[in-house]
Amino acid sequence: MELETFRALRTPAGSRLLAACEGYREADAVRLATRLRKDHPADLVAAALTQASLRQQAAAKFGADAALLFFTREGLEQATTRAVAEHRTRRLNGAVVDLCCGLGGDLLALARAGLQATGVDRDPLTVELARANLEVLGLAATVEQAEVESYDRSPYDVAIADPARRGARGRIFDPAAYSPPWSFVLALLESDACVKTAPIIPHRLVPEGVEAEWVSERGEVKEAALWSGRFVSARRRATVLASGASLTDADDPGGADVLPPSGYLYEPDGAVVRAGLVTAVAPLVGGALLHAEIAYLTSQELVATPFATAYEITDVLRYDERQLRKLFKDRKVGRLTIKKRGLDVDPADVRKRLVAKGPNEATLVLTRTPESTVALLCESRLRPLPHSPRPSS
């Protein structure tokens, strides 16, 4: 979207056009566009339809606010979800500068919390989008257009940054290719700061004296946030939203027993796995590892924890597809969820070979023990159970 097109959307006529597109369905796009072009320029109609579509997609990240906010496709993909931004804000204090602020996901949370906040981005369109998003929600923060590398951070108590992790070819997984570059991130982390990175960041890249916090929301790992200076209270942290519960390396005994599967299977949350804190969950559930190098736990107890999902194990079998196919046929299993760790198999292909016809459903977990490859049949999936959160410090 061009800057002038966005400004046209902000006029009274543009607002009426956006209202006409609200809640439209993709199947009706051509018919709606044809009707709207009778009274509006084609490029403005296209922008309004795109905006309406992005707002629908953004509801998963921003809730009801999405219906009022403005987006670009790339900006929405990288935008911090409201829950994650609010979690980060709870750890912050003082005057905050948000470098690479994008559409303002973090700025909105900072402003809602009453913090003095300034967003900085070098793209003129992104700056206007962020300003508009603050305005439509009635929130107060400043947004400036500038190069973040040369921006004067001295008036602020803390800096947060969200380097761009997308390029012309899609997602960027190598931190060395971030924009601004990794060298800028390292310099920023020499002061009081928080830098958002991809969840797959290798532990070896986390600088000494910096805390890495992996954050998940509804079971999906959203980011690894690097905290420095006065915000450091651990080396590694896993935080699970919406509960806000967290584990750190101080909670990790450093190992766990390895036992055969029985009773319940615990699948640790992705943030726990990324943070390398699977063995910190073992004592919480009275459990043991199935394999020293695989992130599954087993226990005879069903224990309330937000850090793992529990499955009741009904059958422990050798991974033999002929035997499994017969079993699912006998039990009339027509819907099969397959989970796997430690095996190089494609669950979709395995499902095609095993699933039978029938009304029943099951969960099949394929993994390894020190002795063999096993198939664990689980009759029910038990959600992560509620637990009083440990405040992040």
Give residue limits of the domains in the chain. 3-57, 75-232, 264-382
- Does position 55 have pLDDT exceeding 70, yes or no? yes
**Average pLDDT over every residue of 316-342:** 94
**Average pLDDT over every residue of 34-42:** 91
- Does position 313 have pLDDT exceeding 50, yes or no? yes
Collect all residues with Cβ–Cβ distance below 8 Å to 340 and sequence separation of at least 6. Answer: 347, 365, 366, 367
Q: Which CATH superfamily is domain 75-232 in?
A: Vaccinia Virus protein VP39 (3.40.50.150)
Percent of the chain surpassing pLDDT 90: 85
C-alpha span between 50 and 43 (Å, rounded): 11
Q: Are residues 66 and 85 in contact, defined by beta-carbon separation less than 8 angstroms?
A: no
- Does position 379 have pLDDT exceeding 90, yes or no? no
- Predicted TM-score of the model (pTM): 0.91
- Does position 172 have pLDDT exceeding 90, yes or no? no
Q: Is the dihedral of CA 206, 252, 278, 374 positive or negative?
A: positive
What integer pLDDT is reported at residue 386 of this predicted model? 58
Per DSSP, the three-state class of 299 is strand
Confidence tier at 136 by pLDDT (50, 70, 90)? very high
- Does position 380 have pLDDT exceeding 70, yes or no? no
